[in-house]
């Protein structure tokens, strides 16, 4: 695995001559940031050696190198999920490639279902903690070159970046929530009893991504920031039939606000 990671990183270094310190993973319907990038290089995932290929609608499947507010960035336009049939090593493979490209800060967005009764559809929630119900990507033999056997997770999300975004939101009158994200395998959306359970155990929202990438990033010593778009509600009395198209539509409506938060965060890191 380590050899594959290094070969992929070397391919990208050779073909871009970029040294990004910031990596971004864009989730469902949240590709608007791409319009703000001064793109220098773009690769379809199937062009990149050893890279998985995204199979989910709304995930474009491109790796982009460019500038945002003068900062070099590498952006995943589409991610990989455990429910697609990939093992966890493949799910976090791109994060580990980013490590070998020099990325120090990882920014992640996702669409999720709110279980906090104070949330509304379309809200943005800064993730300040998570509960992992997905197989841990660090299970198996540890490679010390990637990170320690038992990485500390007392601060999975950067307090500094959270503070920066809270200030940006306040200055621009942008409503934000903050809370705990529950990571589950999917691909089914949750039953009413499951939504209730996630709330009982301390969750504010639930989704099928992000947590594996954050674990791998923290293992590698990166600082992490993540934000959820609340695309549906798992609150008693507010639960409705939801399709993936519904999720995409809500996520796309939040793109301008989310893009502003992320681009300004990038400029201040």
First-to-last C-alpha distance (Å) of the chain: 31
pLDDT at 30: 67
Question: pTM score, two decimals?
Answer: 0.94
Sign of the C-alpha dihedral computed for residues 61, 66, 69 and 75 taken in this order:
positive
Domain spans, the chain: 2-268
Distance of CA 169 to the CA centre of its chain: 19
User: 2-268 — its CATH code?
Assistant: 3.40.50.1580
Distances (CA, A) of 94 to 103, 106, 204, 228, 246: 11, 11, 27, 20, 28
What's the rounded Cα separation, in Å, for the pair 53 and 9?
Answer: 17
- What is the model's pLDDT at position 1? 83
219: left (phi over 0), alpha (psi -120 to 50) or beta: alpha
Res 9: pLDDT: 96
pLDDT, mean of each 10-residue run, the chain (269 residues): 94 94 85 88 94 66 94 94 94 97 97 95 96 97 95 97 98 96 96 96 97 98 96 84 76 85 94
- Report the half-sphere exposure of 264 (CA within 13 A, side-chain side): 17
């Amino acid at each position: 695995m380590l050899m594959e990671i290094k070969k992929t990183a070397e391919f990208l270094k050779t073909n871009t001559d970029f040294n990004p310190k910031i990596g971004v993973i864009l989730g469902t319907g949240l590709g608007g940031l791409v319009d703000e990038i001064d793109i220098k290089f773009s690769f379809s995932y199937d062009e990149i050696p050893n890279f998985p290929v995204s199979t989910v609608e709304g995930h474009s499947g491109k790796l982009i190198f460019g500038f945002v507010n003068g900062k070099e960035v590498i952006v995943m336009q589409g991610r990989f999920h455990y429910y697609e049939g990939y093992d966890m090593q493949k799910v976090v493979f791109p994060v580990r490639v980013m490590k070998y490209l020099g990325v120090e800060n990882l920014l992640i967005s996702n669409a999720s279902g709110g279980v906090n009764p104070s949330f509304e559809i379309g809200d943005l929630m800064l993730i300040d903690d998570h509960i992992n119900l997905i197989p841990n990507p660090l299970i198996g033999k540890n490679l010390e070159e990637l990170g320690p056997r038992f990485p500390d997770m007392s601060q999975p999300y950067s307090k500094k970046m959270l503070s920066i975004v809270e200030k940006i939101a306040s200055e621009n009158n942008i409503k934000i929530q903050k809370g705990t994200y529950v990571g589950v395998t999917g691909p089914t959306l949750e039953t009413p009893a499951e939504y209730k359970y996630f709330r009982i155990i301390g969750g504010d929202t639930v989704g099928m991504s992000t947590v594996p990438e954050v674990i791998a990033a923290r293992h590698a010593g990166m600082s992490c920031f993540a934000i959820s778009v609340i695309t549906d509600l798992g609150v008693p009395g507010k639960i409705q039939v939801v399709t993936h198209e519904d999720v995409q539509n809500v996520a796309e409506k939040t793109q301008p606000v989310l893009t502003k938060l992320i681009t300004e965060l990038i400029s201040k890191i």
